[in-house]
Each structure stands twice: as C-alpha cells, then as structure tokens.
Structure 1
C-alpha cells in the first residue's frame, strides 16, 4: 500500500454558502455544502484482481510464510508484510482504500491469527500497523459499540466543520444529508436523528440558537423563556430599540428570521407574541402594531383604541368630535380603517363584538370568496399556513446583514 503518495484532489477554492443562501435551499436541491471532490469516497476505484493475479498472490503468500502462520504472525515485523500482501489481494493502492476494508476481508485472506493479536478488531489492526498515518476512524464502514465517546464526537464535528469550511454559527444549517455524506449518520442516530440535540449535547458550552436549526426541538416554544431568548436575539439582529421598531415588525420579519414557528404559537400575531412575552419592555399600545387584516382579535385591539381615545377626549360621548388627524397622531388610523375608517363604524363594530370573536361557521364557498376579495390588500400580511418552510426561508435572500423586511 502506498501510504506516502496518496494523490490529492483539486485544491480549487470552493466558497461556502452564507447562512442566508444555505437556508434557502429546498429539500429537492443537492446540498452545495460538500463539493463532489470532497465526498468521503476512495480517490480511485478499487478494481477486483483478475483470477490469474489472485493465484499469483496466493503463491506469494506461501513464499512469505517462514514456518507456520502462528509463528509468522507472532513476529510483529511481519504484520506490515501481511498488510502489503492483503492490499495487493484487495486491489488497494492508497490509504483511502482501507476505509472500505471489513473484518471478513482479513478472515477470508489468512488474517484471523493477525486479528487475534488486535482483539479481533480489524480497524484497530489497520490503524495500529499503519500508526504513522492520520486516520478518520468514523469513515470505516463498521465501528464497534462505544466508539462514539464524547471526545470522539467532538473530534468528528471539528473535522466536519473544517472539511466544510464552516464556523460553528454556520453549523445551524447542517442537514442530515451532510452527515450522511460525511460518515456521520451513526452519530446522528445516537441523538434521535436530531442535529440540534447532537450539537447542543456535544458542545454544551456554545450558545446555540435552536430556532436556526432546520427543525426546532419539540415543545421548545411552549416555554415563554425560550420565546424571550428569541426576541432578545431578534432585537439585536434587527437593531430594535424603540417601541416603534417593534410596532413595525410584520409576519415577514419573523418568517425571514427563523421565527415563523414561534409566531404560529401566538396565533401568527406579532402583537400577541411581543406583548405576552415582553410586557415590561415598553408601554405597549396594541393598535400601533401592524394590522393583520381579518383577524378576529382585531376587535379587542379596536376596543383598546376606543378606550384610549375616550380617555384623551373626555369620554365616549365626545368621540364624535375627534378628528382623524388626532387618531392618526396616536397611531390608530390603520386599525380604524380595518373597521370602516370612522368612529361611527368602529362603535358599530364594537356593539357586535361577540360576533367578531365567535363568528358563524363559513361555508367553503363563502370562505374562498372572502379570501379572493382580500387578495393582496396588504403585502405585509403573510398566512404562514399556506407557505412552505423553503419559501419562508427564501426571504433571507432578500436580506443583507439582517435588514428588516
């Protein structure tokens, strides 16, 4: 076996995708993470030996024996001789080829006595006899129980990150395919097939962001503390400082920043999410949030707006004299427009508050008509039930450094 002149693959530089590009990749697209010339496979094909060469190899084995086999293998200097002979039998030319070797390849080629000296472990035999080579043990097709120690898992992940030229922040965008292509499927299975479970277990000291993984851990958003962590991260990412910065957030803002699942847990409403999770951050005025057209809970926000106007202008009996400019000054125009655009229409809506909150079931035909009528009235509204994970993440391609949409 030639262990010193292994041919090298092309060193052409491969630019790693940015996180924004990576998350926009659909499940039907071949992952660009691992270029073809970096896949974990032999550098050259292993061709089986012709029968005539096998016969010659068997003859050379007999010539190699001095005395019986037990005496031959008792001398460790003969182990390298055997390995060179076995390499010729199996058609191995480079170190890479040994990753294809199985125990049966030794057993069926006079190697049982050699294996016995290495605990019947063919991988231990290979790596011990060729101890001067750097081995990536996870690349062998069969590894024994107990192989994936914490230390070995860390070594593998560091190797994978270096192989892909990704830092830990970019590891959030790893997929199961990336592990499968790089001999890591068994490691992933140890963590129930969850990349987030694997990384948080292997590197607990790193500040992982669970919402950035392809799949958020089950029940993660049930805990309000996790929602707070996300919103604090979002504030830093989008430079949210003033209350108005938060009011301007839309469903798209969350969809483009890994938060659509969290938003769904709060009825797809930025208002409900933000005021529930961070009520103390500002003196929130619900009507200042971006209006989600057709939401039943809008009637509750309208009621808060009317109560505020009543407080400012001496009671509800004085609201008829309130100008639209005064309503716009406190940020209530968009919510008023949702209910007809006037105080009178808003007051009429409030008299039917229960009907808004508990409407009669609609037929499929009427629901479709209402949906068609709304159309694209507000491009900022986004029905997350009707959009795929890949489409939501494609919003990242429209962002530059986390600029809010």
Structure 2
C-alpha cells in the first residue's frame, strides 16, 4: 500500500507535466480520484493535512506547488537509451523523508548522491532525489546523469548541512500556501472595505447615536447603510408596500413618467407609451401587476375611453371576442377616415384597415372588408350592404360567392319570378342561370345589359371572371364541375369497412322497399369470419383448414 510518500511523489510527477517537455523525462498521469484514494494510507498525517485544508482540486495543488516549490530531478541522458525503457524507480524516485534512504545495488556504502567523490561507483543505476534549497545548485554529477536544480520562491531561508540527505514532510514544508498568502482581487477588497465601514457605522450607532446624527455628513452614510441592511436594489424599494394601493399615487406617477418621456401634451398620447418606458422609469410594478398598459390605464383612468388597438401590446384575441369591441373599432375607424354615410364603406380597402391598427380584427374575417362590415352593421336603414360593391380582391375563393350574389341581384331586377325559383334551392342550378341568361338576351341587348351591370356596380366582380356575363357563368360552370369531382372523391370508400357499410346500407334500403323486415339477431357467423380474413389479406380456405384441425384435436 502506498504511503503519503507515494502521494507526494505522484504530485511531483504531475508537476513534471507542467514543466517544459524534455526527452529525458518520463511523464506520469495523475487524477483526482487517485489523490483522494490515499485517505486510508498507513501514514495519513500528510494526506489529511491536504484533505482537511479543503484543497481537493488537483489543478489548484499543481499550480501552487509549481509556483512555490521547485526540485532537483535526475533523468537518464540520451546515452542510456530511451527513458521509457528504464524502470520508473530509476527515473523518478525522490526522497521525501529523513528516514528514507536507498542503498547501492553493488552493496557499496550508503552515500549521498551529492558527493562527487563516489560518482564512479554509481554508474550502474540512476537515482532521483528531491532537495529543498533556496539557491541554484551548479554541482555536476557523472556525464551519464544530468541534475536540474529548481528552488523555492519564498522569503524564508532554510539552512541545511552539505552532504546531508534532506526529506520533505508536512512538518518541514507544505505544498499548500497559507490562506493569508492568497491574493485578494479588487472586488474582494472593495467588499471587505464595505463590510468594515458598515461595521464601523454600527459601532458608532451603538455607542453614541446622538453624536453620530449630529454630524450631517453621516446622514447619507446611514441611508446607504440602511439600504444595504434591508437589501434594497432600486429606488422604488424605499416606498412602502401600500404606496401603490392608492389611485392618486398611481396617477401622479403616470403624469410624472409621461412628462419625462415627452408625451404630456394630451392624455391620448399615452396610447403610445411602451413597456420599456415604464421599466426604465421604475414602473415595473404596473407591468407585473396588470400584465399590460391598456389594462393598467383602464383601471386608473376609467372615465377615459381608451383604444387598446393603439397600444404597442394588447391581447386582440380576448378583446375582439366581444362584438361591442369590434363595433368600437369600426366607429373609431369611421372618425379617422371621415366616413359619414354607409356607401362610403365600399371605398374602404384592406390597406386602410391595416394601416389603422386593424389587422388583428381583419384577420378574424379572412381579410375581407365585406365580411367585416356586413357582420358589424348588418342592415343599415333597412338595406343590406352589397358584397360586390366592395373592392374585389383578386384570386380569392370568396369571389365565387360574391359573383353568385350579384347574379341573383341582377336577375332579380330583370326576371323576378324565375330568380325566386333559383333562390329557393340550397344550391344554385347552372341550367337555370343559363336559361335566365338566354331570357335576358331576348329582352335586352348587350349594350343595355352592360349598362345595367354598371348601374348595379358589378363591373369589378364581372371583370374578375372574364369581363362579360356569359364568361362569368362559364366560370361558375367550371367551378361547379370541380366541386362535384371533389365530392365524388370524398365519397369513395377509403377502406373495406367503409365499403361494407355502404353496401349494407344499400341492401337495407332495398329490403325496406321490398317490404322485408331484417332480423337483427339473424347473424351469419361465416360471413363475419370471411370479412375478418379479407381484412387480413388471407383466404377463407385457410381459415376453414385451421378450424377443421382444431375440431380433430
């Protein structure tokens, strides 16, 4: 089992890795687990000295030892061959204890390796020692050995007798620097000075508080000391917890903050206050308590009609759930765009709505001003807003419905009775549209038809579908065929079960027509087995063979 000597030896070997690489040096590895594994050594005094100090970090130990302690090391020269070929003991085997000696392999007398007179007797082996000295040694050994002396950087001096082996133990030298010798950073010095000043103020307050406060310069010191004692970080921490409960204090703060950010001309300018304005001016309380600025201002100034869509941040999904809030936005938009009559809404475009902070509301209505305004207003003065009179958005699916509305309105003026028949059906029949179109051509000419379309403001929707009434009806026919094909694709059964359900329904309808009542308890178990095997992709013959084998068993 290794003793504490082995621990120091491994530390020295770890230091060698930090020194400049040399071909004569054998490098060793050292881990923290290996260091902690020496707790149960036979001589744990030196090990416990390191453990109890708390220096369990290998990097810290190597740094401190390499900075404070240097040693004499012997290594084989290039003449003796590769250092890795020799044994570990011949390369690095320092003496770490005064009682530790090493004899000559040739049974020569024990002599110090520093004695130059016995160099010829030690040519058969190499010995490494560690010496504790404060001077660079220039003593040279045999040509086959090289000795490098590294010494301690310390103010203390150590006297040793020449030719006397010297060992290093925890009683003579510690590789750990005392705590008092550790360097303090500037931050730690400032913290220490701050603690000393706080302690001094506390002593003065305890000894004579009257004389302390008699000096006016101590008032600022006391405030700083009290803030540190209470752990206040920002100026608003000095306020009482009940300060923000008062509506008057909240109003006073908002006026003060609006004056600082330059938005104090009118109360409507507060719509453009941002969260950053509050946070930079000690108003985080409002954001943390209310969640957003519109909610805070609505609670503090309930008498003012606030417009949440003008703020930097609000919750449109919750706000626009109410139809009243939607109407409030549309009313404000009418004032902004100077709209005084219902017909002026036809001139409003999506760009007008989005530039006035209405893009959230417009998104709820598929970006269609027609759907927005017809939903909000409904009937105005007994009349419904006409969808085709709004600006047509190109290539939009909603245009098909708008075209149908316009055709119904157009045919209603020319042929009232037949259009009513068409409107009675849930789905417009294109044959009726073609029939009505032929009747119209018999009654009016093409020029008169164009005039009627223009008078009813249908040029935009007709131009979207070819530019003529006949082309628009053809587009409707094509669209109708596409819809029918989509319905046929969706009606195709996607699985065997769906197909079976369809066949079963058809059989049931046929039986009902024939007057045959179906017995619900009349189950054909063979058909059920065949159906299950069909789903698995197997034949019914295989299932019959399996059932026959089971019966024989």
Give your verdict on TM over 0.5.
yes
Render the CA deviation track for 1:358-398: whole Å, top value 9, x for unaligned. 996xxxxxxxxxxxxxxxxxxxxxxxxxxxxxxxxxxxxxx
Q: Which runs of 5+ in 1 are unaligned?
A: 1-47, 88-100, 108-119, 124-137, 361-405
- Give the counterpart of 2:307 among 180, 185, 209: 209
Kindly indicate whether the alpha-carbon contact (under 8 Å) linking 1:161 and 1:168 is maintained by their aligned counterparts in 2: no
Aligned position for 1:190: 289
Aligned position for 1:263: 362
Kindly indicate whether the alpha-carbon contact (under 8 Å) linking 2:308 and 2:314 is maintained by their aligned counterparts in 1: yes
Looking at structure 2, the residues matched to 155 and 256 of structure 1 have their Cα atoms a distance apart, in angstroms, of: 33
Aligned position for 1:295: 396
Cα deviation, residue 209, structure 1: 0.4
Q: Which runs of 5+ in 2 are unaligned?
A: 1-186, 417-435, 487-553
Larger Rg: 2
1:160 has 2:257 as partner? yes
Looking at structure 2, the residues matched to 214 and 337 of structure 1 have their Cα atoms a distance apart, in angstroms, of: 40
Aligned position for 1:325: 451
Change (3 A) 1:260 1:84: closer
Higher relative contact order (CA 8 A, sep 6+): 1
Kindly indicate whether the alpha-carbon contact (under 8 Å) linking 1:188 and 1:195 is maintained by their aligned counterparts in 2: yes
Kindly indicate whether the alpha-carbon contact (under 8 Å) linking 1:148 and 1:187 is maintained by their aligned counterparts in 2: no
Looking at structure 2, the residues matched to 169 and 252 of structure 1 have their Cα atoms a distance apart, in angstroms, of: 24
Aligned position for 2:297: 199
Aligned position for 2:205: 69
TM-score w.r.t. length of structure 1: 0.57
TM-score w.r.t. length of structure 2: 0.42
Aligned residues: 269
Change (3 A) 1:350 1:85: closer
Change (3 A) 1:79 1:153: farther
Looking at structure 2, the residues matched to 356 and 139 of structure 1 have their Cα atoms a distance apart, in angstroms, of: 70
Change (3 A) 1:356 1:325: farther
1:83 has 2:184 as partner? no
Looking at structure 1, the residues matched to 212 and 478 of structure 2 have their Cα atoms a distance apart, in angstroms, of: 92
Aligned position for 1:240: 339
Secondary structure of the structure 2 residue equivalent to 1:222: coil
Change (3 A) 1:331 1:186: same
Kindly indicate whether the alpha-carbon contact (under 8 Å) linking 2:213 and 2:219 is maintained by their aligned counterparts in 1: no
Kindly indicate whether the alpha-carbon contact (under 8 Å) linking 1:210 and 1:216 is maintained by their aligned counterparts in 2: yes
Cα deviation, residue 355, structure 1: 6.6
Aligned position for 1:340: 466
Aligned position for 1:304: 405
Looking at structure 1, the residues matched to 252 and 483 of structure 2 have their Cα atoms a distance apart, in angstroms, of: 56
Kindly indicate whether the alpha-carbon contact (under 8 Å) linking 1:72 and 1:78 is maintained by their aligned counterparts in 2: no
Kindly indicate whether the alpha-carbon contact (under 8 Å) linking 1:102 and 1:141 is maintained by their aligned counterparts in 2: no
Looking at structure 2, the residues matched to 357 and 201 of structure 1 have their Cα atoms a distance apart, in angstroms, of: 53
Change (3 A) 1:175 1:79: farther
Change (3 A) 1:357 1:209: farther
User: Which deviates more, 70-79 or 239-248?
Assistant: 70-79
